[in-house]
């Protein structure tokens, strides 16, 4: 059985600009780790927001849910800044479903 909901979410994500993706990620960050802090593309997930490893896992789970994608452990380990997340989500949303 094919899961159409994930492909629909990714299709919708493909239509979004980098600014729109950044905005959605910012909203997730405010709820999870950033709270009332300023969010920029250069913001460090651990340095600026004080996220620990559990926070990062929860953040990745929320991103996967929001954008209908799967983020590997390897990709998770490369996430250091908000810009890294935006780039990753943009790349994943442009990949063809297998």
- Taking only the tens place, the pLDDT of each residue in 8-52 is 455 454 567 899 999 999 999 999 998 889 999 999 999 999 999
Residue 81 is given by DSSP the state B
In the chain, domain spans: 4-94
More confident residue, 55 or 3: 55
> Looking at the annotation, which residues are catalytic?
52
Class for the domain spanning 4-94: mainly alpha
- Taking only the tens place, the pLDDT of each residue in 73-96 is 999 999 999 999 999 999 998 775
pLDDT at 29: 95
Residue 97 is given by DSSP the state P
pLDDT at 36: 86
Half-sphere exposure of 41 (CA within 13 A, CB side): 10
Q: How many Å separate Cα 46 from the centre of its chain?
A: 15
pTM, two decimals, is 0.80
Classify each residue of 18-52 as buried b or exposed e, where b means 16 or more C-beta atoms within 10 Å of its C-beta.
eeebbebbbebbeebbbeeeebeeebebeebbebe
């Amino acid at each position: 059985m094919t899961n159409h909901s994930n492909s629909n979410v990714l299709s919708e994500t493909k239509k979004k600009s980098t600014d729109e993706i950044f905005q959605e990620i910012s909203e997730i960050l405010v709820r999870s780790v950033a709270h009332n802090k300023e969010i920029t593309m250069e913001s460090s997930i651990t340095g600026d927001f004080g996220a620990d490893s559990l926070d990062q896992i929860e953040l990745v789970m929320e991103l996967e849910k929001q954008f209908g994608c799967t983020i590997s452990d390897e990709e998770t380990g490369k996430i250091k800044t908000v810009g890294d997340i935006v780039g990753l989500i943009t790349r994943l949303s442009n990949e063809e479903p297998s």
